[in-house]
């Protein structure tokens, strides 16, 4: 709430330009760095070099990120030895990897620089731009709880997190959307995923916008934490309370 109150006009402008609600942008930044309070203390160059050459499982990915980082610092005229970030080489308030920084960061405050380390406005605009580029649909559903019956739902789970089955097909597999999805057409694409809740497994239908959040971080738990924080932020904003 404090972040939203401090940057209300910027968040509103990002929603107008990119269609991403204020609470979603604020929640992503909150989950990533607690609104810029924890952007990482590791030297980005060291992190990327270590992962590029001493982490075989994802060496190719981090070698590319190392190249992107060197290009980024050259473009920005910054010292590659000084920049600090996460243990994985993510940078700034929204924790963009170097490739994402170069592709999706925008100058949202109009000062001529794409500054994700110290500019909340650029961070807000860049997160909204990132989600929009990956297909965010303004005003569309994100998730709905689901009930399962029989064994057919296993086929839906195995299909992965990218929406690829219609709600009609989900029903044929024994997956029934709860009330939140009652207004969605039968041809709406969804994916079934399961989370471990305090009372046992929770089954959810994720629509396109949920999948878009997982493009920021591929974990369904991450995406759900963003969504639930966003809901809390929106509720607090509407009630006039703060946290």
**Catalytic residue annotation:** 32
Terminal C-alpha separation, the chain: 6
Tokens of 171: 């029903």
Cα-to-chain-centroid distance, residue 87: 19
Q: Are strands 165-166 and 175-177 parallel, antiparallel or unpaired?
A: unpaired
Neighbours of 157 (CB within 10 A): 16
191 neighbors 144 (Cβ within 8 angstroms) = no
Long-range CB contacts (< 8 A, 24+ apart) of 97-105?
A: 97/65, 97/68, 98/44, 98/48, 98/65, 98/66, 98/68, 98/69, 98/71, 98/72, 99/64, 99/65, 99/68, 100/130, 101/68, 101/72, 102/68, 102/71, 102/72, 102/75, 104/129, 104/130, 104/133, 105/129
Rounded to whole angstroms, how far apart are CA atoms 1 and 33?
15
């Amino acid at each position: 709430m404090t972040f939203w109150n401090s940057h209300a006009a910027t968040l509103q402008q990002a929603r107008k330009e990119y269609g991403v609600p204020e609470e979603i942008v604020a929640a992503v930044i909150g989950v990533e760095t607690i609104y810029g309070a924890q952007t990482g203390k590791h030297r980005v160059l060291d992190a990327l070099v270590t992962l590029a050459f001493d982490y075989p499982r994802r060496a190719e990915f981090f070698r590319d990120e190392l190249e992107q980082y060197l290009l980024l610092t050259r473009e920005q005229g910054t010292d590659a030895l000084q920049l600090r970030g996460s243990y994985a080489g993510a940078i700034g308030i929204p924790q963009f990897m170097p490739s994402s920084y170069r592709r999706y960061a925008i100058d949202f405050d109009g000062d001529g620089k794409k500054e994700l380390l110290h500019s909340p406005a650029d961070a807000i605009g860049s997160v909204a731009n990132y989600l929009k580029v990956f297909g965010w649909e303004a005003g569309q559903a994100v998730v709905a709880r689901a009930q399962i019956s029989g064994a057919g739902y296993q086929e839906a789970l195995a299909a992965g997190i990218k929406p690829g089955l219609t709600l009609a097909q989900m029903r044929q597999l024994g997956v029934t959307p709860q009330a939140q999805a009652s207004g969605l057409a039968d041809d709406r694409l969804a994916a079934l995923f399961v989370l471990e809740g305090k009372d046992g497994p929770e089954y959810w239908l994720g629509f396109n916008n949920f999948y878009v959040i997982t493009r920021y971080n591929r974990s369904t738990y991450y995406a759900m934490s963003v969504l639930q924080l966003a809901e809390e932020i929106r509720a607090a904003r509407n009630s006039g309370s703060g946290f």
